């Protein structure tokens, strides 16, 4: 079972998919994760702390995906193939992930 921290980040990510960050309530995130609000505040300190942790997690995941995409076309792939595969991966990811989309489009 995932740790409370991951459950809370997953719940915050899901909440962000349904409404803007200003509308995400800590009590709702805690309830969706199945933990108390106190656990949420103990883990992240504040809503800003939760936001920083969520952005950090998504950025790390994004960069790991870019690295995989750059190496994905195969051993004989040239730089153009690798860039094309990476660009395609970034576009698919931006379509599915609202944080990545927001970061790329401002």
DSSP conformation letters of 24-60: --HHHHHHHHTS-HHHHHHHHSSHHHHHHHHHHHHHH
Q: What is the CA radius of gyration of the chain?
A: 17
Show me where the domains of the chain are located.
4-105
CATH homologous superfamily of 4-105: Tetracycline Repressor, domain 2 (1.10.357.10)
3-state secondary structure of 99: helix
pLDDT over threshold 80, residue 2: no
Name the percent of the chain lying above pLDDT 90.
Answer: 62
User: So what's the pLDDT on residue 29?
Assistant: 96
User: So what's the pLDDT on residue 95?
Assistant: 92
């Amino acid at each position: 079972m995932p740790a409370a921290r991951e459950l809370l980040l997953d719940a915050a990510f899901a909440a962000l998919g349904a409404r803007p960050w200003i509308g995400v309530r800590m009590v709702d995130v805690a309830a969706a994760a199945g933990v108390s609000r106190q656990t949420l505040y103990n883990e992240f300190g504040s809503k800003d702390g939760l936001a920083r942790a969520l952005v950090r997690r998504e950025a790390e995941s994004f960069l790991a995906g870019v690295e995989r995409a750059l190496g994905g076309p195969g051993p004989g792939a040239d730089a153009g193939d690798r860039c094309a595969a990476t660009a395609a991966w970034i576009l698919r990811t931006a379509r599915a992930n609202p944080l990545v989309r927001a970061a790329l489009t401002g």
